[in-house]
Chains A and B, each alone.
Chain A
Amino acid sequence: MKKQCIIVGLGKYGKTIAKKLSDSKIEVLAVDSDMHIVEEVAPYVTKAVCIDVTSEDAWEQLPIKDFDIGVVCFGENLSASILSCMILQERGVKYIIAKAGNKLHKNILNRLNIDEVVFPEEFVGETTAENILNLEVE
């Protein structure tokens, strides 16, 4: 069976993931609270819907337990991030990746036992530093 992935939060980060995954024939459900963003992503992904991610009743309408992988991509909006993670976890999504916007956010997500916490600034910063170290300037 194809991998099924639910992506919550369609900022630049989430959108990039959604497009990339859809290119490699993974079933993607893209979710966001902003209809304009949802409509932007809709042509690329399998399905796209707009819900209030902080409302449990709204989540109730989506078949979350069918998904193997969940990606939660809120950097700024702490409550949306935490709530989405909790809900995906409770409804039995097998592997959850969440993005953190700052150190505190990262710590909270780690406490929630999220399978993989991504902190892009830190990660990219380290990579850049490494690049600089390996750089040979004449």
Chain B
Amino acid sequence: MRNKSYLVPLLGFVLISIIGAVVLCLPICNKAEITFHEAFYASVSTVTGTALLKTPIVEQFSVIGQIVILMLMEVGALGFIVFISYFWAKRNKKMKMSDIIMVNDNTGGDNNYNTIKEHSMFVFNLVLRVQIIGAVLLGIRFIPEFGLIKGIWYGIFHSISAFTNVGYDIIGTSSLYNYKSDIYLQIVLMILMLLGSIGIFAIEDLKKHKFKSFNKLRLQTKIILVYSLIFTLVPAILLKIFEPQMSILNSLFMALTARSAGFTLINLESFSIASKLLLIVVMFIGGSPASTAGGMRVIVPAIIFSTVISTLRGRENTVMFWKKIPNIVVRKAFAIFIIFLMLSILASMLLAYCNKEVTLLEVIFETVSALTNAGLAVAETTSVNAIGDWLLLILMFIGRIGPIAMVMAFVHDEPVDKLVDYPTENVMLY
């Protein structure tokens, strides 16, 4: 009865990471020497979209190595969203077959893809188009500075890095520090990150209603749009308050990049404790479902937030935008939240045990950064030994595949305990 298809993304990611590591080990890919361990770390970090690295890309990898990294980013992010949309499209299709009348009522019949393949192609085309436009826009900025070929290459690389929410840059050890006041570049990168993290279904839904009527959008899309906005603007405002020397655009960029991409625009070591804690929370929240972003996904905190409010008001159901969220979904949201929280705490403990010279904040930051695939780093990476490295690797994997695997593993057409029902008995909470 249990659905085993969650194994597909899991094995896929492991396989691609290993292949990537082997290729990255080749001398042709490297400028400096590399061990298999380091290559595997880089490969996993790229495929999962985390971008925590031991040495900056430009110092470690040659142009060919960088192309390999680029391909890993694309495979990791694209493969992931194509797979997820494939999975859900297939499920929805099954539902439609059995309930054709209801579907026609709801969607007017224009949401029926002829084939799942067609749907996947739509996703693929969309992603390709966005990335090409992004590359052109970034190229316009980079070509005058770095010359034609290097400029085009930088455009392509950063466009993909931003859209896939990986967050690598190949500008050098100074990262994006020199572009702090570059409004054009930041806005282009921000739009790319946003499109990548908003999720394919939200974009599809918006396109269907031609960006006109908010009320007609699916509940899913409404939650994503409204809460993405809240979870970006509120942290941006708080960051501006905590770090008064930062420009408004910079704080907006940092709030957005923390939600999953992890571009290094400003050296985080100079940040106050308050801002670092804020960034941890933002990383934790992450992007949207079926997107290239990581983290817990906005839907989860959104549902938890609404549930808390409804509970305090003495309501029995979680209601959002005048729609009731199914109880089973609320329970899943809580499960994902608690598991993420427990994992972060446990892993932080373990990591701190492995490396006794780090501060509490650094350890938590690093753990959450790996688990949510954000890849922001407060200090030089805190992990000093192999155990710490492996721990971070496992966290990256769990962060990438964990939630979807959990959701998929527990997707049943009917709840398993429906056949046997138990008598209710109340318990006291206080």
Contacts and interface: CB of A to CB of B under 8 A. Distances in A.
B424 interface: yes
B424 A50 contact: no
Interface string A61-84: 110000000000000000000000
B425 to A, nearest CB: 7
A55 B423 contact: no
Interface in B291-332: none
Contact of B419 (A38, A39, A48, A58): A58
B170 to A, nearest CB: 57
A62 B420 contact: yes
A83 to B, nearest CB: 15
Interface residues of A, number: 15
Contacts, number: 30
Interface string B383-425: 0000000000000000000000000000000000001111111
Contacts of B421: 35, 38, 49-51
Nearest to B425: A42
A115 interface: no
Interface string A29-50: 0000001001100100000111
Nearest to B417: A61
A51 B420 contact: yes
B97 to A, nearest CB: 22
A57 interface: yes
Contacts of B419: 51-52, 55, 57-58, 60-61
- Of listed B419, B420, B421, B423, residue having the most chain A CB within 10 A: B423
B423 A35 contact: yes
A95 B421 CA distance: 26
A39 B422 CA distance: 8
A50 B425 contact: no
B423 A48 contact: yes
Contacts of B424: 39
B274 to A, nearest CB: 52
A61 B425 contact: no
Contacts of A52: 419
A50 B424 CA distance: 11
A38 B424 CA distance: 10
Contacts of A50: 420-423
Nearest to A41: B423
B39 to A, nearest CB: 49
Contacts of A62: 420
B25 to A, nearest CB: 52
Contacts of A49: 420-423
Contacts of A55: 419
Contacts of A61: 419-420
Nearest to B422: A49
Nearest to A48: B423
Contacts of A35: 421, 423
Interface in A1-42: 35, 38-39, 42
Nearest to A37: B423
A39 B424 CA distance: 7
A87 to B, nearest CB: 14
A75 B172 CA distance: 84
Interface string A113-138: 00000000000000000000000000
Contacts of A60: 419
Nearest to A47: B422
A47 to B, nearest CB: 9
Nearest to B424: A39
Contacts of B423: 35, 38-39, 42, 48-50
A90 to B, nearest CB: 18
A54 to B, nearest CB: 12
B168 to A, nearest CB: 51
A38 B423 CA distance: 6
B139 to A, nearest CB: 61
B286 to A, nearest CB: 37
A34 B412 CA distance: 25
Contacts of A38: 421, 423
A22 B17 CA distance: 60
A84 to B, nearest CB: 15
Nearest to B416: A61
B69 to A, nearest CB: 51
Nearest to A61: B420
Given A50-B422, A61-B419, 6 more contacts: A35-B421, A38-B423, A39-B424, A42-B425, A50-B423, A57-B419
Interface of A: 35, 38-39, 42, 48-52, 55, 57-58, 60-62
8 contacts: A39-B423, A49-B420, A49-B421, A50-B420, A50-B422, A57-B419, A58-B419, A61-B419
Of all A-B residue pairs in the complex, the 9 with the closest CB atoms, nearest first, are A42-B423, A50-B421, A58-B419, A39-B423, A61-B420, A51-B420, A38-B423, A49-B420, A61-B419
